[in-house]
Amino acid sequence: MLRFSFKGGHVQSIIWLTCHPHTLDNRKMTALLIICFCLILGSLGNPQFPEQEKDPKFWNAWAQRTLKNALTLQELNKNKAKNLILFLGDGMGIPTVTAARILKGQLNGQSGEETQLEMDKFPFVSLSKTYNTNAQVPDSAGTATAYLCGVKANEGTLGVSAAAVRSQCNTTQGNEVTSILKWAKDAGKSVGIVTTTRVNHATPSAAYAHCVDRDWYSDNEMPVEALQAGCKDIARQLFENIPNIDVIMGGGRKYMFPKNMSDVEYPNILKHSGTRKDGRNLVQEWVDRMKDKKNHYVWNKTQLLSLNPNNVDYLLGLFEPGDMMYDLERNTESDPSLTEMVDVAIKILKKNPSGFYLLVEGGRIDHGHHEGKAKQALHEAVEMDRAIGRAGLLTSDHETLTIVTADHSHVFSFGGYTPRGNTIFGLAPMLSDVDQKPFTSILYGNGPGYKVINGARENVSAVDYKGNNYQAQAAVPLNAETHGGEDVAVFAKGPLAHLLHGVHEQNYIPHVMAYAACIGEYREHCMSPSGSAGLRPAFSIVAVILSAARLLC
């Protein structure tokens, strides 16, 4: 029997190896010793936790500061929301939020666990029940209809009620439901959509489309019967259903151009060429329609960042033929980050004195998880958190209601009794007591990471488990990992954010936003019987200071 005892980050780990000489040859013994040595080195490399954390005064003082801040929330923000922002982390379940928090800290040289995400700083947090009307574990289309249109719907359908049936075109008419983006536009606000997926992908599509199949990206993906019955593809609806959406940014360029038309960025690469069978050039049609307005179409970062937002009223930015690149793989010279897109979008939208509504999707968190690539997914989540921080700097909580949530979760987890500061992509500090092999802290319940070599689980010490595209081990083999069915978090700040509390149905979210902004079905409650506003308008800090100065003078 061999015993290895070591300490790392003040966490003691003990590995016991029971070896029977008549069954374990020298090669196997050598392999086990190498694994143990790697585990020891990994633990020794973990950062020590701060010395101050040994003192109870540290924790008591921290808790007391938090309590003091919480007590200030007793004076609720009941202002009328001029601006509305919804950040949607696609697939960003609570385990993803926690892991992204640790990653953010570790990218800044900390152990990670004590780090605060921007969304962590929001004063109100609740839970959202994500099921679709016909699905216990939902998809992104039915959920988008819930948190954008205010009604739950069937999986795979966009902007239609549960009376509509997926892929059945003749169930569309009469079952359309409108979104908060339209309510805001009808109220005179500027509106925008920013996503890292295709702009006609599930999440953004529910803001403007009424479609019984989320996969009808262009007419090329639609069955002939649906086209003959008069159903429209999603890309077409983007430009026709709600004319003059002020800001649209993301991927999905190929769905806007005639079939086989060469892409501007990837010429002569057929898979990136246009897909439209009707021969329409939707981008050119948009440019022509907006020619008398301050409009710009851009397809790369240089063009985007060269714009002066003060001289732009309408912006269409399509930066990839399909989804945008993962942030880890993004060409930082030619492709804008989510933060950069959000920065430009808000600067354009906030010029409207009536305010704005902005939908921001960190859409590729979901894609990373589906591919079993946790590193890609978590870096996408960290980037979305940067964008949340940037939005906070450009707006005021006095007049802007900001909500951060997810549409659904994934079967993603991390565990294994890892010590403080263990790299989030690292190994658990022990071997399996069943197959005597190491395992990563991050694992999936199912997905493409399931691998069997010579009848046994793959030995992760033989692969680059910290690589960008490493597929974490999964319990059940699937080509694509699945969504999870648990509740997701809803973070809120700004006017009437306190209405998001406890556990709610997902479709409650746009009702709160509309109520706070007095739009859609919630316009009347803002007017008292005397005709004055029931909700008080928000005053900026500058306005308050100026008013006080006038009184003093």
| Catalytic (active-site) positions | 140
Give the closest residue to 182 by CA, choosing from 210, 201, 162, 156.
Answer: 210
What is the number of residues in the chain?
553
Residue in the block written with tokens 């593809």: 233
Confirm whether residue 501 is marked as ligand binding.
no
Q: How many C-beta atoms lie closer than 10 Å to residue 3's C-beta?
A: 8
Is 361 annotated to bind a ligand? Reply is: yes
DSSP class of residue 145?
Answer: H
**Whole-number CA gyration radius for the chain:** 26
Residue 233 marked in a binding site: no
Say whether 143 counts as a known binding-site residue: no
Nearest 10 degrees: CA dihedral of 215, 217, 219, 223? 0
278 is in an annotated binding site: no
Across the strands, what pairs with 11?
A: 8
Q: Is there a contact between 181 and 192 (Cβ–Cβ < 8 Å)?
A: no
Strand positions, DSSP E, 238-313: 247-251, 295-298
- Site of tokens 């989510």: 338
Tokens of 167: 């892929």
Q: Which residues contact 449 (CB under 8 A, 6 or more apart)?
A: 372, 471, 472, 473, 474, 481
Side-chain-facing half-sphere of 161: CA atoms under 13 Å? 6
Q: Is residue 504 a known part of a binding site? A: no
Q: Which of 98, 147, 153 has its CA nearest to residue 500?
A: 147
Secondary structure of 359-387 in the HEC alphabet? EEEECHHHHHHHCCCHHHHHHHHHHHHHH
Quote the tokens at residue 541. 């800090």
Residue 487 annotated as binding site: no
How far apart, in whole angstroms, are the C-alpha atoms of residue 428 and residue 431?
Answer: 8
Residue 215 in marked binding region: no
13, containing H or E segment? strand 11-17
CB 287 within 8 A of CB 307: no
**What's the rounded Cα separation, in Å, for the pair 226 and 218?**
12
20 annotated among ligand-binding-site residues: no
Whether residue 475 contacts residue 445, with contact meaning beta carbons closer than 8 Å, is answered with: yes
Residues 6+ apart with CB under 8 A from 463: 470
Contact 210, 172 (CB under 8 A): yes
Residue positions forming the annotated binding site for Zn(2+): 90, 366, 370, 407-408, 483
Residue positions forming the annotated binding site: 90, 201, 203, 361, 366, 370, 407-408, 483
Residue positions forming the annotated binding site for Mg(2+): 90, 201, 203, 361
